[in-house]
């Protein structure tokens, strides 16, 4: 189970609380949608779950270990998450030099190209393939299709949900787009409902 309990976080001692007693759980193979207003703290929660930030207090399980991370984060802008000077084959080899990328996600014709030579939807599929090559137990998908057209959004989500179900990978899907989350997730939670005391004080 991916679990955060009584999580509190702020970006500095003099900064306001972004998370003030947040509880959230994602079961293996479950797709949980998380929505909420801009600036509420959804991405911050995602980064805490993926071990990219450390909570001020409270717990996150599984904890980030050395070596492959059990919780991988997939971000909205894949171009910013890849070295622009690496070919796609090198981007994928960084995650696992021996593994073959999933052919349903990555066309072999892309492997010799650089990230700027792929479309946004193609690049996001590479980004997903890379996250899956790390064999995560959980994925945090943060607005991963926000910049794509509706058809490409649906395709990327279908691929992600299929892979998650097949591999027993739990997914926290973060989006402003409630209808999209309702279409892809097993259940949808509102950010404001994750804290028993309600959202953190207005900033
Ligand atoms: N690196 C940072 N340093 C300081 N404050 C930050 C940092 N990142 C985010 N914040 C602040 O933390 C709060 C929550 O931001 P976060 O990005 O988690 O919200 P969000 O719900 O994901 O928003 P959006 O839907 O617009 O992406 C905001 O007030 C934001 O300004």
Best mutation site among 36, 42, 141, 202 for ligand 1, i.e. most ligand atoms within 8 A of its Cβ? 42
What's the CATH number where 96 sits? 3.40.50.300
pLDDT in tens, 122-131: 998 999 999 9
Residue 22 included in any domain: yes
Residue 164 included in any domain: yes
pLDDT in tens, 16-44: 999 999 999 999 999 999 999 999 999 99
Q: Is 203 a pocket residue for ligand 1 (Cβ < 6 Å)?
A: yes
Q: Is 198 a pocket residue for ligand 1 (Cβ < 6 Å)?
A: no
**120-133 vs 88-95: helix crossing angle, rounded to 10:** 30
| Domain, as residue range, for 82 | 2-194
Q: What's the total number of domains in the chain?
A: 1
Residue 200 included in any domain: no
Task: Report which protein residue has its CA nearest ligand 1's atom 5.
Answer: 11
ipTM, 2 dp: 0.97
- pTM value is 0.90
CB 44 within 8 A of CB 9: yes
Q: Which atom of ligand 1 lies nearest, measured to the CA of 47?
A: 18
Residue 31 included in any domain: yes
């Amino acid at each position: 189970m991916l679990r955060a309990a009584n999580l509190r976080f702020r970006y500095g001692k003099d900064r306001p609380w972004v998370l003030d007693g947040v509880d959230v759980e994602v079961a293996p193979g479950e797709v949980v949608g998380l929505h909420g207003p801009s600036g509420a703290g959804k991405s911050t929660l995602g980064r805490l779950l993926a071990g990219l930030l450390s909570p001020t207090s409270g717990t996150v399980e599984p904890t980030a270990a050395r070596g492959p991370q059990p919780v991988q984060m997939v971000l909205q802008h894949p171009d910013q998450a890849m070295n622009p000077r690496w070919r796609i084959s090198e981007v994928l080899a960084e995650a696992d030099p021996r593994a073959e990328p999933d052919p349903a996600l990555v066309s072999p014709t892309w492997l010799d190209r650089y990230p700027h030579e792929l479309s946004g939807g193609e690049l996001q599929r590479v980004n997903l393939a890379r996250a899956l090559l790390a064999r995560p137990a959980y994925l945090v998908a943060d607005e991963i299709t926000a910049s794509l057209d509706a058809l490409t959004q649906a395709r990327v989500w279908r691929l992600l949900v299929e892979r998650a179900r097949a591999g027993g990978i739990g997914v926290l899907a973060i989006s402003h787009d409630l209808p999209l989350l309702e279409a892809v997730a097993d259940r949808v939670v509102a950010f404001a409902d994750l804290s028993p005391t309600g959202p953190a004080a207005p900033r």
